[in-house]
A and B are shown apart, each in its own frame.
Chain A
């Protein structure tokens, strides 16, 4: 029993040492190149390697060579057992103005090994508040949106594409 405890303690220490030393900016550049294959490009950003996190500032996000959004700050914390990506102040491109309000205050994405088949996300912005769950096994995404007054007034067309629930929220589900 004591040996097992020592083994667990040493393993945890090793994982944290590795997380401390690992070149997070290089890993990010590798991820960038992989995402480029999916036509998603992050450019002009400043990447800061921190002991247990990676901070990205002023990112221009493009999809299929079309500028899609600007992100002021993103924080990536990967602790193996608990992983978190926090994104602040997203401004969508003007192209999206006919579907959605352009400013998103924050987007939090969480993944924990305690619930390994699901990724959770919450977001708040001019559109209201949204929470999403991605089920990796079933390959589906479900989003619950509580729209703001602005969203209800100016973007009712977008809301019509979503399913209204009994609590006044709007649901969206998609399989990928």
Chain B
């Protein structure tokens, strides 16, 4: 029964999309981290 639920194409599609969005967000944040300064301003 549980295996049937896991292989539900609708659920798999949603989980895949969520994972793809998470990866895109992480890559985007890494790019921001790469290009922005790592230290601030001091007097």
Question: Which A residues lie at the B interface, using CB under 8 A?
Answer: 10, 13-14, 17-18, 20-23, 26-30, 32-33, 36, 41-45, 47, 60, 62, 65
| Contact (Cβ within 8 A) B41 A36 | yes
Q: B29, B33, B38: which contacts A18 (Cβ < 8 A)?
A: B29
Q: Is the Cβ of B36 less than 8 Å from the Cβ of A13?
A: no
Residues of B that sit less than 8 Å from A by CB? 17-18, 21-22, 24-26, 28-29, 32-33, 36-43
Name which residue of chain B comes closest to A65, CB basis: B43
With a CB–CB cut-off of 8 A, which chain A residues contact B42? Answer: 43-44
On whether the beta carbons of A30 and B41 are closer than 8 Å, the reply is no
Interface of B is mostly: helix
**Do most interface residues of chain A lie in helix, strand or loop, or is the interface mixed?**
helix
In the assembled complex, the CB of B15 is this many whole angstroms from the nearest CB of chain A, namely 12
Contact status B32-A23, CB under 8 Å: yes
Set of chain B residues within 8 Å of A36, measured between Cβ atoms:
41
- Give the complex CA separation of A36 and B22 in angstroms: 34
B41–A32 touching, CB < 8 Å: yes
12 contacts across the A-B interface (CB closer than 8 A)? A10-B21, A13-B21, A17-B21, A17-B26, A18-B25, A22-B28, A23-B33, A26-B33, A27-B32, A28-B40, A36-B41, A65-B43
Chain B minimum-CB-distance residue to A18: B25
A62 to B43, CA, bound (A): 8
Inter-chain contact B36/A23, CB cutoff 8 Å:
yes
> Across the interface, which residues of B come within 8 angstroms of A65, CB to CB?
43
A92 CB to closest chain B CB (Å) equals: 17
Bound complex: CA of A29 vs CA of B42, how far in Å?
Answer: 11
Residue of B nearest to A44 (CB): B42
